[in-house]
Structure 1
Protein backbone atom coordinates (compact mmCIF):
# COMPACT_ATOMS: atom_id res chain seq x y z
CA UNK A 1 0.00 0.00 0.00
CA UNK A 2 1.44 3.38 -0.98
CA UNK A 3 1.95 6.05 1.62
CA UNK A 4 -0.43 8.37 -0.24
CA UNK A 5 -3.13 5.73 0.12
CA UNK A 6 -2.43 5.53 3.86
CA UNK A 7 -3.04 9.27 4.21
CA UNK A 8 -6.26 8.96 2.22
CA UNK A 9 -7.36 6.10 4.49
CA UNK A 10 -6.72 8.21 7.57
CA UNK A 11 -8.84 11.02 6.17
CA UNK A 12 -11.68 8.60 5.44
CA UNK A 13 -11.54 7.04 8.92
CA UNK A 14 -11.56 10.49 10.54
CA UNK A 15 -14.65 11.34 8.49
CA UNK A 16 -16.34 8.15 9.67
CA UNK A 17 -15.38 8.90 13.28
CA UNK A 18 -16.95 12.36 13.03
CA UNK A 19 -20.13 10.92 11.53
CA UNK A 20 -20.39 8.34 14.32
CA UNK A 21 -19.93 11.03 16.95
CA UNK A 22 -22.78 13.02 15.40
CA UNK A 23 -25.04 9.96 15.50
CA UNK A 24 -24.14 9.32 19.13
CA UNK A 25 -25.12 12.82 20.29
CA UNK A 26 -21.97 12.73 22.40
CA UNK A 27 -20.65 15.96 23.84
CA UNK A 28 -17.12 14.65 23.47
CA UNK A 29 -15.14 14.08 20.27
CA UNK A 30 -13.82 10.53 19.98
CA UNK A 31 -10.07 10.20 19.67
CA UNK A 32 -8.63 8.14 16.82
CA UNK A 33 -5.46 6.24 17.71
CA UNK A 34 -3.72 5.01 14.56
CA UNK A 35 -2.08 1.66 15.27
CA UNK A 36 1.06 1.11 13.21
CA UNK A 37 1.79 -2.42 14.38
CA UNK A 38 4.25 -4.19 12.03
CA UNK A 39 4.23 -1.21 9.66
CA UNK A 40 7.32 0.88 8.78
CA UNK A 41 7.90 4.11 10.65
CA UNK A 42 7.73 6.00 7.35
CA UNK A 43 3.98 5.33 7.18
CA UNK A 44 3.51 6.69 10.68
CA UNK A 45 5.65 9.70 9.78
CA UNK A 46 3.43 10.52 6.83
CA UNK A 47 0.34 10.58 9.00
CA UNK A 48 2.16 12.83 11.46
CA UNK A 49 2.96 15.19 8.60
CA UNK A 50 -0.73 15.10 7.65
CA UNK A 51 -1.52 16.47 11.10
CA UNK A 52 -2.30 13.34 13.10
CA UNK A 53 -0.71 13.01 16.54
CA UNK A 54 -2.16 9.98 18.34
CA UNK A 55 -0.43 6.69 17.49
CA UNK A 56 -0.34 3.30 19.16
CA UNK A 57 1.78 0.18 19.21
CA UNK A 58 1.25 -3.35 20.54
CA UNK A 59 4.84 -4.38 21.17
CA UNK A 60 7.32 -2.71 23.51
CA UNK A 61 10.31 -3.14 21.22
CA UNK A 62 8.48 -1.80 18.19
CA UNK A 63 7.48 1.30 20.13
CA UNK A 64 11.02 1.75 21.44
CA UNK A 65 12.29 1.60 17.86
CA UNK A 66 9.74 4.01 16.38
CA UNK A 67 9.35 6.65 19.09
CA UNK A 68 12.78 8.30 18.69
CA UNK A 69 12.14 8.73 14.96
CA UNK A 70 8.96 10.78 15.45
CA UNK A 71 8.77 14.36 16.80
CA UNK A 72 8.47 14.89 20.54
CA UNK A 73 4.85 16.02 20.37
CA UNK A 74 3.74 12.61 19.09
CA UNK A 75 1.29 11.08 21.57
CA UNK A 76 2.08 7.39 21.92
CA UNK A 77 -0.46 4.89 23.25
CA UNK A 78 0.69 1.45 24.30
CA UNK A 79 -2.15 -0.95 23.55
CA UNK A 80 -0.58 -4.40 23.83
CA UNK A 81 -0.20 -6.76 26.75
CA UNK A 82 2.55 -5.33 28.96
CA UNK A 83 4.68 -7.69 31.02
CA UNK A 84 5.58 -6.14 34.35
CA UNK A 85 9.29 -6.75 33.77
CA UNK A 86 9.14 -4.43 30.74
CA UNK A 87 7.41 -1.54 32.51
CA UNK A 88 10.61 0.33 33.34
CA UNK A 89 11.98 -0.16 29.82
CA UNK A 90 8.82 1.28 28.30
CA UNK A 91 8.38 4.40 30.41
CA UNK A 92 12.08 5.29 30.33
CA UNK A 93 12.50 4.60 26.63
CA UNK A 94 9.48 6.58 25.39
CA UNK A 95 9.43 10.10 26.91
CA UNK A 96 6.40 11.01 24.77
CA UNK A 97 4.36 8.06 26.05
CA UNK A 98 0.88 9.47 26.61
CA UNK A 99 -1.19 6.49 27.72
CA UNK A 100 -0.81 2.85 28.67
CA UNK A 101 -4.20 1.36 27.84
CA UNK A 102 -3.63 -2.15 29.18
CA UNK A 103 -3.04 -2.05 32.93
CA UNK A 104 -4.57 -5.29 34.20
CA UNK A 105 -3.08 -5.93 37.65
CA UNK A 106 -1.88 -4.21 40.79
CA UNK A 107 1.54 -5.73 40.15
CA UNK A 108 1.83 -3.95 36.80
CA UNK A 109 0.52 -0.70 38.26
CA UNK A 110 3.11 -0.88 41.01
CA UNK A 111 5.92 -1.61 38.52
CA UNK A 112 4.92 1.42 36.47
CA UNK A 113 4.71 3.55 39.60
CA UNK A 114 8.19 2.52 40.67
CA UNK A 115 9.59 3.14 37.19
CA UNK A 116 8.20 6.67 37.14
CA UNK A 117 9.56 7.71 40.52
CA UNK A 118 12.19 10.38 40.10
CA UNK A 119 11.19 11.23 36.53
CA UNK A 120 10.40 14.86 35.85
CA UNK A 121 7.15 14.31 34.02
CA UNK A 122 3.48 14.67 34.92
CA UNK A 123 1.56 11.56 36.02
CA UNK A 124 1.19 9.01 33.23
CA UNK A 125 -2.35 8.34 32.07
CA UNK A 126 -3.38 4.70 32.33
CA UNK A 127 -6.50 2.77 31.40
CA UNK A 128 -7.60 -0.40 33.17
CA UNK A 129 -8.12 -3.20 30.67
CA UNK A 130 -11.35 -5.14 31.22
CA UNK A 131 -12.09 -8.61 29.85
CA UNK A 132 -15.70 -7.91 28.91
CA UNK A 133 -16.09 -11.01 26.73
CA UNK A 134 -15.03 -13.55 29.36
CA UNK A 135 -12.63 -15.26 26.96
CA UNK A 136 -9.67 -17.03 28.52
CA UNK A 137 -7.49 -15.86 25.65
CA UNK A 138 -8.07 -12.19 26.47
CA UNK A 139 -6.08 -10.16 28.97
CA UNK A 140 -7.78 -7.79 31.37
CA UNK A 141 -9.42 -7.88 34.75
CA UNK A 142 -12.84 -9.36 35.31
CA UNK A 143 -15.60 -6.72 35.46
CA UNK A 144 -16.04 -7.52 39.17
CA UNK A 145 -12.40 -6.51 39.83
CA UNK A 146 -12.32 -3.21 37.95
CA UNK A 147 -13.23 -1.01 40.92
CA UNK A 148 -10.53 -2.53 43.10
CA UNK A 149 -7.77 -1.94 40.54
CA UNK A 150 -8.91 1.59 39.68
CA UNK A 151 -9.04 2.44 43.38
CA UNK A 152 -5.54 1.02 43.90
CA UNK A 153 -4.14 3.18 41.12
CA UNK A 154 -5.89 6.31 42.36
CA UNK A 155 -4.93 5.83 46.02
CA UNK A 156 -1.49 4.22 45.82
CA UNK A 157 0.13 5.30 42.56
CA UNK A 158 0.72 9.08 42.57
CA UNK A 159 2.80 8.92 39.39
CA UNK A 160 -0.09 7.31 37.50
CA UNK A 161 -3.40 8.92 36.63
CA UNK A 162 -6.34 6.57 36.22
CA UNK A 163 -8.14 8.04 33.24
CA UNK A 164 -10.07 5.32 31.48
CA UNK A 165 -11.15 1.76 30.77
CA UNK A 166 -10.25 -0.34 27.74
CA UNK A 167 -11.57 -3.55 26.22
CA UNK A 168 -10.73 -5.77 23.24
CA UNK A 169 -13.31 -7.33 20.97
CA UNK A 170 -14.36 -10.92 20.53
CA UNK A 171 -12.13 -13.55 19.00
CA UNK A 172 -12.73 -12.16 15.51
CA UNK A 173 -11.72 -8.74 16.90
CA UNK A 174 -15.19 -7.26 16.68
CA UNK A 175 -17.05 -6.42 19.84
CA UNK A 176 -20.69 -7.10 20.47
CA UNK A 177 -23.11 -4.62 22.01
CA UNK A 178 -23.06 -6.47 25.32
CA UNK A 179 -19.28 -5.94 25.58
CA UNK A 180 -19.69 -2.21 25.02
CA UNK A 181 -22.51 -2.08 27.55
CA UNK A 182 -20.40 -4.00 30.07
CA UNK A 183 -17.61 -1.43 29.84
CA UNK A 184 -20.11 1.39 30.30
CA UNK A 185 -21.49 -0.30 33.42
CA UNK A 186 -17.93 -0.73 34.72
CA UNK A 187 -17.28 2.97 34.23
CA UNK A 188 -20.39 3.91 36.18
CA UNK A 189 -19.35 1.66 39.08
CA UNK A 190 -15.80 2.96 39.11
CA UNK A 191 -16.90 6.59 39.05
CA UNK A 192 -19.30 6.03 41.93
CA UNK A 193 -16.64 4.21 43.96
CA UNK A 194 -13.78 6.67 43.51
CA UNK A 195 -15.71 9.89 43.05
CA UNK A 196 -14.95 10.69 39.42
CA UNK A 197 -17.16 12.32 36.80
CA UNK A 198 -17.91 9.84 33.98
CA UNK A 199 -16.96 12.54 31.49
CA UNK A 200 -13.42 12.38 32.90
CA UNK A 201 -13.10 8.62 32.37
CA UNK A 202 -12.32 7.52 28.81
CA UNK A 203 -13.76 4.37 27.26
CA UNK A 204 -11.34 2.82 24.78
CA UNK A 205 -13.36 0.35 22.74
CA UNK A 206 -13.76 -0.19 19.04
CA UNK A 207 -11.25 -1.24 16.40
CA UNK A 208 -11.11 -1.47 12.60
CA UNK A 209 -14.19 -3.70 12.35
CA UNK A 210 -16.48 -1.95 14.81
CA UNK A 211 -15.24 1.52 15.73
CA UNK A 212 -18.35 3.30 14.45
CA UNK A 213 -20.68 1.14 16.53
CA UNK A 214 -18.38 1.59 19.52
CA UNK A 215 -18.52 5.39 19.23
CA UNK A 216 -22.30 5.30 18.93
CA UNK A 217 -22.32 3.31 22.19
CA UNK A 218 -20.08 5.72 24.07
CA UNK A 219 -16.47 5.05 23.09
CA UNK A 220 -14.21 8.08 23.40
CA UNK A 221 -11.04 6.40 22.11
CA UNK A 222 -10.91 4.03 19.13
CA UNK A 223 -7.89 2.00 17.99
CA UNK A 224 -7.72 1.58 14.23
CA UNK A 225 -4.84 -0.10 12.45
CA UNK A 226 -5.48 -2.24 9.37
CA UNK A 227 -8.23 0.02 7.99
CA UNK A 228 -5.65 2.81 7.81
CA UNK A 229 -2.38 1.00 7.17
CA UNK A 230 -3.58 -2.09 5.32
CA UNK A 231 -3.37 -5.74 6.25
CA UNK A 232 -0.54 -6.71 8.54
CA UNK A 233 2.16 -9.11 7.46
CA UNK A 234 3.56 -11.32 10.19
CA UNK A 235 6.86 -13.20 10.01
CA UNK A 236 5.26 -16.43 11.20
CA UNK A 237 1.96 -18.03 12.13
CA UNK A 238 2.62 -17.59 15.83
CA UNK A 239 2.74 -13.84 15.47
CA UNK A 240 -0.38 -13.86 13.35
CA UNK A 241 -2.27 -15.74 16.05
CA UNK A 242 -1.48 -13.20 18.75
CA UNK A 243 -4.30 -10.86 19.64
CA UNK A 244 -4.59 -7.56 17.87
CA UNK A 245 -5.81 -4.57 19.82
CA UNK A 246 -6.63 -2.45 16.77
Structure 2
Protein backbone atom coordinates (compact mmCIF):
# COMPACT_ATOMS: atom_id res chain seq x y z
CA UNK A 1 0.00 0.00 0.00
CA UNK A 2 2.77 2.45 0.96
CA UNK A 3 4.73 1.79 -2.22
CA UNK A 4 1.59 2.25 -4.31
CA UNK A 5 0.79 5.58 -2.65
CA UNK A 6 4.35 6.85 -3.11
CA UNK A 7 4.29 5.91 -6.78
CA UNK A 8 0.86 7.49 -7.19
CA UNK A 9 2.21 10.70 -5.66
CA UNK A 10 5.14 10.71 -8.05
CA UNK A 11 2.75 10.22 -10.97
CA UNK A 12 0.60 13.12 -9.76
CA UNK A 13 3.65 15.37 -9.47
CA UNK A 14 4.63 14.52 -13.04
CA UNK A 15 1.14 15.41 -14.24
CA UNK A 16 1.24 18.64 -12.23
CA UNK A 17 4.55 19.57 -13.84
CA UNK A 18 3.17 18.98 -17.34
CA UNK A 19 0.00 20.97 -16.61
CA UNK A 20 1.99 23.82 -15.10
CA UNK A 21 4.22 23.95 -18.17
CA UNK A 22 1.14 24.09 -20.39
CA UNK A 23 0.00 27.10 -18.36
CA UNK A 24 3.36 28.80 -18.80
CA UNK A 25 4.50 28.22 -15.21
CA UNK A 26 6.95 26.05 -13.32
CA UNK A 27 5.83 23.06 -11.26
CA UNK A 28 7.15 24.81 -8.13
CA UNK A 29 4.41 27.40 -8.55
CA UNK A 30 1.72 24.80 -7.86
CA UNK A 31 1.28 23.32 -4.39
CA UNK A 32 0.05 19.73 -4.12
CA UNK A 33 -1.86 19.05 -0.91
CA UNK A 34 -2.22 15.31 -0.29
CA UNK A 35 -5.58 14.84 1.43
CA UNK A 36 -5.51 11.83 3.72
CA UNK A 37 -9.15 11.76 4.85
CA UNK A 38 -10.01 8.32 6.32
CA UNK A 39 -6.46 7.09 5.70
CA UNK A 40 -4.14 5.80 8.46
CA UNK A 41 -1.31 7.82 9.95
CA UNK A 42 1.17 5.22 8.71
CA UNK A 43 0.29 5.94 5.09
CA UNK A 44 0.73 9.68 5.53
CA UNK A 45 4.05 9.00 7.24
CA UNK A 46 5.20 6.94 4.27
CA UNK A 47 4.55 9.86 1.92
CA UNK A 48 6.31 12.17 4.36
CA UNK A 49 9.32 9.84 4.30
CA UNK A 50 9.19 10.02 0.49
CA UNK A 51 9.72 13.78 0.79
CA UNK A 52 6.22 15.27 0.68
CA UNK A 53 5.31 17.97 3.21
CA UNK A 54 1.87 19.36 2.31
CA UNK A 55 -1.06 17.39 3.71
CA UNK A 56 -4.72 18.15 4.29
CA UNK A 57 -7.67 16.88 6.28
CA UNK A 58 -11.42 17.57 6.11
CA UNK A 59 -12.72 16.59 9.55
CA UNK A 60 -11.51 18.21 12.77
CA UNK A 61 -11.87 15.13 14.98
CA UNK A 62 -9.85 12.97 12.61
CA UNK A 63 -7.35 15.78 12.13
CA UNK A 64 -6.59 16.28 15.83
CA UNK A 65 -6.11 12.56 16.29
CA UNK A 66 -3.66 12.22 13.41
CA UNK A 67 -1.57 15.39 13.51
CA UNK A 68 0.16 14.84 16.92
CA UNK A 69 1.41 11.45 15.67
CA UNK A 70 3.23 12.98 12.70
CA UNK A 71 6.32 15.21 12.28
CA UNK A 72 5.90 18.86 13.18
CA UNK A 73 7.38 20.17 9.94
CA UNK A 74 4.35 18.98 7.99
CA UNK A 75 2.49 21.95 6.51
CA UNK A 76 -1.11 21.10 7.30
CA UNK A 77 -4.21 22.45 5.54
CA UNK A 78 -7.72 22.20 6.92
CA UNK A 79 -10.09 21.93 3.96
CA UNK A 80 -13.79 22.78 3.95
CA UNK A 81 -16.30 24.30 6.32
CA UNK A 82 -14.97 24.85 9.86
CA UNK A 83 -17.46 25.01 12.72
CA UNK A 84 -16.89 27.68 15.38
CA UNK A 85 -17.08 25.20 18.26
CA UNK A 86 -14.16 23.23 16.82
CA UNK A 87 -11.77 26.10 16.13
CA UNK A 88 -10.04 26.09 19.52
CA UNK A 89 -9.39 22.34 19.55
CA UNK A 90 -8.00 22.45 16.01
CA UNK A 91 -5.71 25.43 16.60
CA UNK A 92 -4.62 24.17 20.01
CA UNK A 93 -3.83 20.65 18.84
CA UNK A 94 -2.19 21.38 15.46
CA UNK A 95 0.47 24.07 15.98
CA UNK A 96 1.79 23.46 12.47
CA UNK A 97 -1.54 24.20 10.81
CA UNK A 98 -0.50 26.43 7.92
CA UNK A 99 -3.76 27.11 6.12
CA UNK A 100 -7.53 27.02 6.55
CA UNK A 101 -9.33 26.36 3.25
CA UNK A 102 -11.65 27.99 3.57
CA UNK A 103 -13.30 30.69 5.56
CA UNK A 104 -16.87 31.18 4.38
CA UNK A 105 -18.32 33.94 6.57
CA UNK A 106 -17.29 36.91 8.72
CA UNK A 107 -18.32 35.18 11.95
CA UNK A 108 -15.88 32.29 11.53
CA UNK A 109 -13.15 34.68 10.36
CA UNK A 110 -13.51 36.84 13.46
CA UNK A 111 -13.68 33.77 15.70
CA UNK A 112 -10.49 32.35 14.19
CA UNK A 113 -8.82 35.72 14.69
CA UNK A 114 -9.77 35.87 18.39
CA UNK A 115 -8.72 32.29 19.16
CA UNK A 116 -5.36 32.72 17.44
CA UNK A 117 -4.73 35.83 19.54
CA UNK A 118 -5.75 34.05 22.76
CA UNK A 119 -3.41 31.14 22.03
CA UNK A 120 -0.51 33.39 21.10
CA UNK A 121 -0.14 31.74 17.72
CA UNK A 122 1.44 33.46 14.78
CA UNK A 123 -1.00 34.68 12.09
CA UNK A 124 -2.70 31.94 10.09
CA UNK A 125 -3.11 31.87 6.32
CA UNK A 126 -6.67 31.51 5.05
CA UNK A 127 -8.45 31.09 1.75
CA UNK A 128 -11.98 32.41 1.31
CA UNK A 129 -14.23 29.58 0.18
CA UNK A 130 -16.48 30.57 -2.72
CA UNK A 131 -19.54 28.56 -3.72
CA UNK A 132 -19.08 28.51 -7.48
CA UNK A 133 -21.43 25.58 -8.07
CA UNK A 134 -24.81 26.83 -6.97
CA UNK A 135 -27.44 24.34 -5.86
CA UNK A 136 -30.50 22.63 -7.26
CA UNK A 137 -28.84 19.73 -9.10
CA UNK A 138 -29.67 16.12 -8.30
CA UNK A 139 -27.01 13.53 -7.50
CA UNK A 140 -27.69 9.83 -7.65
CA UNK A 141 -24.87 8.06 -5.85
CA UNK A 142 -24.17 7.83 -2.15
CA UNK A 143 -20.66 9.18 -2.66
CA UNK A 144 -21.85 12.31 -4.41
CA UNK A 145 -24.54 12.90 -1.80
CA UNK A 146 -21.88 12.78 0.91
CA UNK A 147 -19.74 15.28 -0.94
CA UNK A 148 -22.70 17.56 -1.53
CA UNK A 149 -23.79 17.39 2.11
CA UNK A 150 -20.35 18.26 3.44
CA UNK A 151 -19.25 20.89 0.96
CA UNK A 152 -21.76 22.26 -1.52
CA UNK A 153 -23.69 24.50 0.87
CA UNK A 154 -20.48 26.05 2.20
CA UNK A 155 -18.84 29.06 0.67
CA UNK A 156 -19.86 32.64 0.05
CA UNK A 157 -21.62 33.57 -3.13
CA UNK A 158 -19.26 35.03 -5.75
CA UNK A 159 -20.88 38.44 -5.33
CA UNK A 160 -19.97 38.44 -1.62
CA UNK A 161 -16.39 37.16 -1.72
CA UNK A 162 -14.81 40.62 -1.99
CA UNK A 163 -16.56 41.84 1.17
CA UNK A 164 -15.36 38.79 3.12
CA UNK A 165 -11.80 39.12 1.83
CA UNK A 166 -11.86 42.80 2.81
CA UNK A 167 -13.12 41.94 6.31
CA UNK A 168 -10.28 39.45 6.80
CA UNK A 169 -7.62 41.79 5.49
CA UNK A 170 -8.75 44.87 7.40
CA UNK A 171 -10.39 43.51 10.55
CA UNK A 172 -8.58 40.24 11.36
CA UNK A 173 -4.93 41.01 12.16
CA UNK A 174 -4.24 37.39 13.09
CA UNK A 175 -5.34 36.08 9.70
CA UNK A 176 -3.47 36.37 6.43
CA UNK A 177 -5.80 36.56 3.45
CA UNK A 178 -3.97 34.39 0.90
CA UNK A 179 -6.52 33.72 -1.82
CA UNK A 180 -9.73 32.00 -2.85
CA UNK A 181 -10.79 28.39 -3.02
CA UNK A 182 -13.67 26.37 -4.40
CA UNK A 183 -14.69 22.76 -4.07
CA UNK A 184 -16.27 22.80 -7.50
CA UNK A 185 -19.14 20.72 -8.75
CA UNK A 186 -19.94 17.71 -6.57
CA UNK A 187 -20.21 15.48 -9.64
CA UNK A 188 -16.56 16.19 -10.58
CA UNK A 189 -17.43 16.57 -14.25
CA UNK A 190 -14.50 18.90 -14.90
CA UNK A 191 -16.50 21.69 -16.45
CA UNK A 192 -14.57 24.97 -16.44
CA UNK A 193 -17.33 27.29 -15.20
CA UNK A 194 -16.32 26.92 -11.55
CA UNK A 195 -12.72 27.80 -12.31
CA UNK A 196 -13.69 30.74 -14.50
CA UNK A 197 -15.95 32.06 -11.76
CA UNK A 198 -13.18 31.84 -9.16
CA UNK A 199 -10.73 33.57 -11.51
CA UNK A 200 -13.19 36.43 -11.98
CA UNK A 201 -13.59 36.69 -8.22
CA UNK A 202 -9.82 36.91 -7.87
CA UNK A 203 -9.63 39.77 -10.35
CA UNK A 204 -12.31 41.68 -8.45
CA UNK A 205 -10.78 41.03 -5.03
CA UNK A 206 -7.33 42.14 -6.15
CA UNK A 207 -8.73 45.29 -7.70
CA UNK A 208 -10.74 46.27 -4.61
CA UNK A 209 -7.98 45.43 -2.12
CA UNK A 210 -5.18 46.83 -4.26
CA UNK A 211 -3.51 43.44 -4.02
CA UNK A 212 -1.01 42.13 -6.60
CA UNK A 213 -2.56 39.16 -8.39
CA UNK A 214 0.48 37.00 -7.69
CA UNK A 215 -0.21 37.35 -3.96
CA UNK A 216 -3.76 36.02 -4.33
CA UNK A 217 -3.75 32.25 -4.74
CA UNK A 218 -6.41 30.09 -6.35
CA UNK A 219 -7.11 26.75 -4.69
CA UNK A 220 -9.10 24.72 -7.18
CA UNK A 221 -8.81 21.24 -8.59
CA UNK A 222 -9.01 17.78 -7.05
CA UNK A 223 -8.34 14.25 -8.23
CA UNK A 224 -10.65 14.35 -11.24
CA UNK A 225 -9.86 17.81 -12.56
CA UNK A 226 -6.58 19.11 -11.14
CA UNK A 227 -4.81 19.29 -14.50
CA UNK A 228 -7.53 21.45 -16.00
CA UNK A 229 -7.54 23.59 -12.85
CA UNK A 230 -3.79 24.18 -13.12
CA UNK A 231 -4.10 25.10 -16.77
CA UNK A 232 -6.70 27.68 -15.70
CA UNK A 233 -4.49 29.23 -13.04
CA UNK A 234 -4.74 27.13 -9.89
CA UNK A 235 -1.79 27.45 -7.51
CA UNK A 236 -3.04 24.88 -4.99
CA UNK A 237 -4.58 21.48 -5.80
CA UNK A 238 -6.04 19.04 -3.29
CA UNK A 239 -5.48 15.42 -4.25
CA UNK A 240 -6.94 12.56 -2.25
CA UNK A 241 -8.11 9.39 -3.96
CA UNK A 242 -5.65 9.58 -6.85
CA UNK A 243 -2.82 9.33 -4.32
CA UNK A 244 -4.30 7.34 -1.46
CA UNK A 245 -6.95 5.24 -3.21
CA UNK A 246 -10.71 5.13 -2.47
CA UNK A 247 -11.97 6.54 0.81
CA UNK A 248 -12.64 4.03 3.55
CA UNK A 249 -15.83 5.23 5.24
CA UNK A 250 -17.01 3.11 8.19
CA UNK A 251 -20.04 0.97 7.45
CA UNK A 252 -23.18 1.73 9.40
CA UNK A 253 -24.59 -1.13 11.44
CA UNK A 254 -28.10 -2.27 10.57
CA UNK A 255 -30.63 -1.54 13.26
Are the aligned partners of 2:6 and 2:50 in contact in 1 as well (CA < 8 Å)? yes
Q: TM-score, normalised by structure 2?
A: 0.89
2:140 is aligned to none
Aligned-partner SS, 2:186: coil
Equivalents in 2 of 1:81, 1:120: separation in Å?
A: 23
2:96 is aligned to 96
2:200 is aligned to 185
Equivalents in 2 of 1:157, 1:14: separation in Å?
A: 35
Q: CA deviation digits over 1:79-114, x for unaligned, max 9?
A: 032111111111111100000011000010011011
Residue from 167, 172, 179 that aligns with 1:164: 179
1:243 is aligned to none
Aligned-partner SS, 2:29: coil
Give the unaligned 5+ runs of structure 1.
238-246
Q: Shift of the alpha carbon at 1:174?
A: 4.0
2:247 is aligned to 232
Are the aligned partners of 1:91 and 1:116 in contact in 2 as well (CA < 8 Å)? yes
1:111 is aligned to 111
1:155 is aligned to 170
Residue from 190, 201, 206 that aligns with 2:221: 206
Residue from 231, 238, 245 that aligns with 1:216: 231
Q: Shift of the alpha carbon at 1:14?
A: 0.5
Are the aligned partners of 2:180 and 2:218 in contact in 1 as well (CA < 8 Å)? yes
1:49 is aligned to 49
Q: TM-score, normalised by structure 1?
A: 0.93
Equivalents in 1 of 2:90, 2:165: separation in Å?
A: 21
Aligned-partner SS, 2:218: strand
What root-mean-square deviation, in Å, do the aligned CA atoms of Structure 1 and Structure 2 show? Answer: 1.3
Q: CA deviation digits over 1:151-189, x for unaligned, max 9?
A: 000011000000010001212134421110100000010
Are the aligned partners of 1:168 and 1:175 in contact in 2 as well (CA < 8 Å)? no
Aligned-partner SS, 1:25: coil
Q: How many pairs does the alignment contain?
A: 236
Aligned-partner SS, 1:86: helix
2:73 is aligned to 73
1:244 is aligned to none
Equivalents in 1 of 2:113, 2:158: separation in Å?
A: 23
Are the aligned partners of 1:126 and 1:164 in contact in 2 as well (CA < 8 Å)? yes
1:10 is aligned to 9
Matched, 1:194 2:209: yes
Equivalents in 1 of 2:190, 2:121: separation in Å?
A: 35
Are the aligned partners of 1:26 and 1:218 in contact in 2 as well (CA < 8 Å)? no
Runs of 4+ in 1 over 3 A off after TM superposition: 118-121
Aligned-partner SS, 1:117: helix
Equivalents in 2 of 1:203, 1:174: separation in Å?
A: 19
